[in-house]
Every structure is written in structure tokens, then in C-alpha cells.
Amino acid sequence: MPKMTEDYYEILGVPRDATPEQIKKAYRQQARKLHPDVAQEPDAADRFKKVAEAYEVLRDEQKRDLYDRGGDPLGGGMGGFNGFGGFNGGAQGFDFTNLVDAMFGGQQTRGPRSRVRRGQDAVVRLDLDLAEAAFGATKPVRVDTAVLCPRCNGSGASEGSQPVRCSTCHGQGDVTHVQRSFLGDIRTTQPCPTCRGYGTVIPNPCVECNGEGRVRHSRTIEVKVPAGVDTGIRVKLSSQGEVGPGGGPAGDLYVALNVQPHDVFKRVNDDLEVVLKIPMTAAALGTEVEVTTLEADLPDADPADTKVTLAVPAGTQSGTRITVEGKGAPRLRGNGRGELGVTLLVQTPTKLDDSQRELLRQLAEARNESRPEGTVQRHSKGVFGRIRDAFVGQ
């Protein structure tokens, strides 16, 4: 062991077999607690120096090995810590910037930053009717974004000029300020206020974009909407968003889709639902009915695809649902289509002439229903729920 009263491991509060990560973590904790801007104890500065000295030795494999074998890793006495000024150099070259580096997770080397940066993504909304969402469409979309400046082509400089090196930071992009303290010279680095960290300045900015390299512009683009989309889905158009500063590459454009309600059909996942009213007599006797499909909303639809024929069995009750496979919405991911669900709503006649009323009276007598007794029955969503959902959209 060196001829010192201090035990570096004890100062940092770590075992002698501590890993470099444990040593670094312990040092950060101690340094933050003893930092002159935080600590209130009168001996904080001295303790801070000892903690820094212990870390300087134990973080270095060669110095730590020499210390563990009883040697003096600092080359005599306090070495690089001879007085407060020793923090900025000394025999061992210990710089206060290394101290800050260890305390706050690493000092970032800024340097000049590029004027050319990627642009932000943009989002626009596109309303679709149900047929367009189900079968796909190509729709025009008006977009207002930043585009490449046509005058300077993104350079930001007027014609015949170009950016020049900043005279304040000499092209470094940042400036360093030195402040004296009882711990030595404290150096802080900040972006150059003249060039804002770019390292260059534009003496003659472009009059069109004022040096930005981009301008606002409205344009119309065609968006191809795939079949089977629904509200909430976004279509991504790569490199159609905002052009970046300095004429940088454009971000992406996201088209948020919103499907408008339909007057007749309701979409449930990949299925289409419709309510069909039929007369009481047709429901009792059975019949065939034609149902118009969603294809009828397409401008170039084949008439043969716009209708399907349904067989309504005799005795059909109001609320009965009949399905037609393959006539729902196309599936966005996967093959095929959903089903078309047709919920039948049996209509009771309200206007009868005398002959019709007599015929119904005879039917009621024949079925012994002149004075029927009602039966209370617990209904299910299968009967009334589908009708309610079809009308109120729940």
C-alpha cells in the first residue's frame, strides 16, 4: 500500500474487488453529494478532492494495480492534486473536464452541426365513403408542407454566394467559456451564438426562403387507398412530408383515413349489414327478394354484381338474419371477403280496405286467433338487437 492514510476503496465506499462499473457509479454518487454547488458542509471541497483522487486512481487499471501492490500511483504525494490549480493538469494530467465527464455521464463533443436535416413527418386526413374504403380507390389529397426552395435549391444562400466560416467560433460550431473557481478553471462549452452551432454563417441569405432552404407550398397528390381499409388506418407515403432545413430529405406523409357512415349499409369488421323490410304476407308465405349490394355505389360496377336474390322461408319472423357469403368488405390482410348480413323486418299493414280486413278476420278465425293470448318471452339480441343496431348504429 502507498504511504498514505487514505484508503481509496473506503473513500468511494466500494469493496476491493469492485468492478469498474461499481467504481464509476460510487464516484458519481459521492461527487454529486459533495459538489460545491450542492453540499453545505464546510469540508465538502476537501472531501470532493479526495473522492476525485480516489476515482482517478481506481478507474485506471495500471494505477489501480500499482496502488493495490503498495506503490504510489500518483508519483509522489498528491501528484496532480497539488493545490487547487492542479485540477487542470499537474504531473498526471488530470483535467477537470474528466471530472465533469464522469459526474454527468460523458461530455458530448459538439462540433459544427449540419444545416441539412431530415424534415418532419406530416399527417393529413382523407374522408372516404364506404364503397371506396371497401373496394379501394385513388383519391386526390391537398397537402400544405415545406418543399425545397426553388430559388436557392436548398442552400439557403442567394445566387452567387455561399456560407462562410464563422469568425466567432472559427468553424467549430461551439465556444468555450473558462471560469475560475476554488476547484480550478471550469470550462463550459455552448453552441456559438453567432452561427447557432453550424460553424458557418450565410452573409447573403436567399430572399425566397430567408436562409432556410425550404418554403411552404400547397400541392395535390394522388393517394392509392387499398381495399378493405377502415377508419383509423393510415396510409404511409414515403418522402412526401416536410422537406428538412437546408433542403434536407423530406419526412413521410401519413394519410389518416376516415370512413363516412352509409345510408343503407353498416360495416362490422369485414361484414356488411343491411335491414330489409318485407310484407307480413311475404314473411308468412315465403318468397324471393332482390337485395342491392354495396357494389352498386361503384361508378363502373357490373350490373350483374349489384344485386343478389334471397330466398325468404315461409314463416320468417321479424329480426331473422340471412347471410350471403363473399358479399361483405374485402379483407385488408388476407384473401376473400366478409359476408353480407340481411336482417328482415316484417311489416304489419296499417291501412286496410274492407275486403282486406275481412280476409284477415277470416284468417284469424281459421287460426283461432280472434282473441289471442299474448305470451311474454325474454328476447335476445338476435331478434331485436340486430334491428336496433341497424337503425341506431350501435
Tell me the domain boundaries of the chain. Answer: 8-103, 122-154+213-259, 164-201, 266-392
Q: How far apart are the C-alpha atoms of 272 and 131, rounded to whole Å?
A: 11
Above 60 in pLDDT, residue 228?
yes
Query: Nine-digit cell at 289?
Result: 327478394
Give the pLDDT band of residue 97 (cuts 50, 70, 90). Answer: very low
Length of the chain: 394
**What does the pLDDT read at residue 29?**
86
Question: What CATH class does 266-392 carry?
Answer: mainly beta
CATH superfamily name and code, 122-154+213-259:
Urease metallochaperone UreE, N-terminal domain (2.60.260.20)
Q: How far is CA 355 from the centre of its chain?
A: 69
**What does the pLDDT read at residue 270?**
93
Q: Tell me the C-alpha to C-alpha distance, in Å, between residue 120 and each of 76, 242, 251, 253, 357.
A: 57, 5, 5, 9, 73
pLDDT, mean of residues 57-70 = 84
49 or 265, which is more confident: 265
195 is in an annotated binding site: yes
Closest to 133 measured CA to CA, from 223, 254, 219: 223
The amino acid present at 273, given as its one-letter code, is E
CATH architecture of 8-103: Orthogonal Bundle (1.10)
Instruction: Identify each DSSP E strand in 197-351 by its residue range.
Output: 200-201, 214-225, 234-237, 253-259, 266-268, 271-279, 287-292, 307-312, 321-324, 340-347
Above 70 in pLDDT, residue 246?
yes
Q: How far apart are the C-alpha atoms of 123 and 256, rounded to whole Å?
A: 7
Q: How far apart are the C-alpha atoms of 270 and 273, rounded to whole Å?
A: 10
Closest to 346 measured CA to CA, from 394, 393, 384: 384
Query: Nine-digit cell at 201?
Result: 454563417
Above 60 in pLDDT, residue 382?
no
**What does the pLDDT read at residue 87?**
38
Q: What is the pTM of this model?
A: 0.62
169 is in an annotated binding site: yes
Q: What is the CA radius of gyration of the chain?
A: 40
Helix axis angle, 44-58 relative to 61-68, nearest 10°? 100
3-class SS at 364?
A: helix
Q: How far apart are the C-alpha atoms of 82 and 61, rounded to whole Å?
A: 22
The mean of the pLDDT values for the chain is 83
Render pLDDT for 119-158 as a digit per residue (tens, 0 to 9). Answer: 999 999 999 999 999 999 999 999 999 999 999 999 999 9
Above 70 in pLDDT, residue 369?
yes
Q: Cβ(297)–Cβ(166) under 8 Å?
A: no
Query: Nine-digit cell at 20?
Result: 469498474
**What does the pLDDT read at residue 182?**
63
Domains 8-103 and 266-392 agree in fold: no
**What does the pLDDT read at residue 345?**
95
192 is in an annotated binding site: yes
Q: How far apart are the C-alpha atoms of 74 and 53, rounded to whole Å?
A: 9
Q: Cβ(63)–Cβ(71) under 8 Å?
A: no
Query: Nine-digit cell at 30?
Result: 459521492
166 is in an annotated binding site: yes
pLDDT, mean of residues 174-181 = 81
Q: How far apart are the C-alpha atoms of 210 and 226, rounded to whole Å?
A: 40
